[in-house]
Structure 1
């Protein structure tokens, strides 16, 4: 279970904060990677939603890709847009890489020794069911503490001509092209 979308609760929390009202909030800056001020449509939709539903002003700072990670690690920006794609189909690829205290990819600066211990144990656990249970516990700790807030998940659409057969994606979203063939059409 994670955080539910609740604009009313967000307004209550803003009202209870030192700002008292969204109009008193300083602008929130989202840092994104890219060139040419090209803002993805889904980010524009989120910004518009926050403005309309909460009255929150959102600015976008775009950094060149080569400076992006360094900047967000050093500056600790309020929000940043960053993707993560599995290198291999295992919870370790997400949980250890992104949330273990000493991980180079833990750009959130998140540290929880209890979580670190659980992840260390899960990484060496030989029993698959026990290992999965440990990773589920770790994931719940991360959800409960919310060191990051995933705002969206990408979707890819793949069109395949009706005469192309054997085109299937593995769990990582990569096709096994050795199985693809075409039939007479």
Structure 2
């Protein structure tokens, strides 16, 4: 098993997308990239801790590669907006790849270099070594599956899932 950590806006949205991929065996929403130890959701949302909302993915590289995860990541959010995704604004919503190995760093940097022309604006996704990760509170875990009618989730996540199915169908689990 390998680990990947991505920040692409609200972790509820990012988690809902990645949990549908074959080879993904675990996802945990959390916080990374900041300075406060064991931050709370409220502290992270204040923008004062430096953390981003992230998901940490456990995946089986024999079923899905890190490059596949990068493809889904960069096409499931807007990597060209600094510190925001849609109406979610703040450094906690920045786009970031928190790499766990030199190989992941190289792949993320190569992806950005090779695909920058695919976007209408420069990619602002940061590529940073994971130096801390704190799991989010339990009520954030598997949030969309447990709260599909929550107004925010209902408005923002279904279009992301439709785009995922349209663009990355071969990467989806058989039951999705």
Give the TM-score band, short-chain normalised.
under 0.3
User: Larger strand proportion, structure 1 or 2?
Assistant: 2
Higher RCO structure (Cα 8 Å, ≥6 apart) = 2
Bigger-Rg structure (1/2)? 1
Give the alignment's TM-score, normalised by structure 1.
0.25
